[in-house]
Amino acid sequence: MKKINLVLLLSLVALPLASCGEEEVIKPKTYTILWVDYDGALLETDKDVKEGEMPHFDGETPTRKIDDNFTYTFKEWSPKLEKVTKDATYKAVYSETPIPTYTVTWVNYNDQVLEVDNNVKEGETPHFDGVTPTRASDASFTYTFKEWSPKIAPVTQNVTYKATFTSTPIVPDIKTYTVTWVNYNDQVLEVDSNVEEGTMPQYNGQTPIKPSDAEYNYIFKEWTPALKAVTENITYKATFTSERIPNVYHIKFVNYNEDLLYEADVNEGETATYKGVAPTKPEDDEFTYEFTGWDKELTNISSSFTTKAQYKPVAKENRGPIHWF
């Protein structure tokens, strides 16, 4: 009996000691917080958020694409953020801003209205839906659509675009002809093809020639017919002036004793000129001799001939005594 009581006593003493060595730990409650976009798309999940903490979104500020009518700016979360007491889901809320619209007008080069686009939203790039603009040709040019002015850009205000055109000069249908150049004997000297109507023809070859014959030399004069602006195929012939070839005569110059002093060929009608050594005649007992010219006329030559030197006797002074018989 005493033994049982001792055991019981020991047990009662050990119980408090055991309680003091194993203190009980109480864990706080945690919850899951979900963050979703306006359309329910999950943006972030925060797990094990302790009860009583203020939830916090750690991602980038949510955005929403513009639609046909509005632009969107993040405003807040719904419901309003509060300390965590349970699992919660917060949805992004956006403020709406109506998209401005403008009028786009399209006009031709002459300001004729081709198309009007109303309610074009800001930021949209306008587009012309009509037939490609045209511009009628005038006397000098044809026109091809080039582009709109000013350059097309996203809309930020009411705007008017004008059609611009490239101009191409009109090249008239010019007629061309062939110009042929021939010599006196119809020998072709030059052929000019594709000479434009109204152009003055021009000969580019060497000056035409015609050989001399027994009586005449020939010098190029002009073309026949007279040159004029081209209006048809045409042939021009070289014409020449003629110069009579003069006869040539042989003139001999001889001394008083028939010794040949000089000779020359002279053209008909010209003057014969002596170019030899000055003619002389030896003196004799009574006279010296002075050359006075030739015995024939030397101008306007019309035949061959021989001309003899002429002398004038000059009496000698102091001839000595004169003997009378």
**Span 203-241, pLDDT tens digits:** 999 999 999 998 899 999 999 999 999 999 999 999 999
Query: Is the same domain home to 237 and 212?
Result: yes
Range of the domain at 183: 176-244
The reply to whether 22 falls in a domain is no
Count of CB atoms within 10 A of residue 161's CB?
19
β-pairing, 159-169 vs 141-149, is antiparallel
Task: Please count the structural domains in the chain.
Answer: 4
Name the domain boundary from 197, 223, 244. 244
Copy the structure tokens of residue 266.
Answer: 């002279």
pTM exceeds 0.85, yes or no: no
The reply to whether 12 falls in a domain is no
Query: Is the same domain home to 180 and 223?
Result: yes
Name the domain boundary from 244, 267, 296. 244
Give residue 24's pLDDT band: very low, low, confident or very high (50, 70, 90): low
Average pLDDT over residues 22-44: 89
Name the domain boundary from 80, 98, 116. 98
In tens, the pLDDT along 162-180 reads 999 999 999 888 899 999 9
Average pLDDT over residues 103-115: 97
Q: What's the CA gap between 163 and 34, in Å, rounded?
A: 56
Consecutive H or E run containing 239: strand 234-244
Average pLDDT over residues 286-291: 95
% of the chain surpassing 90 pLDDT:
81
β-sheet with 188-196: strand ranges across: 188-196, 176-182, 234-244, 216-224
The reply to whether 324 falls in a domain is no
Q: Which CATH number belongs to the domain containing residue 281 in this structure? A: 2.60.40.4270
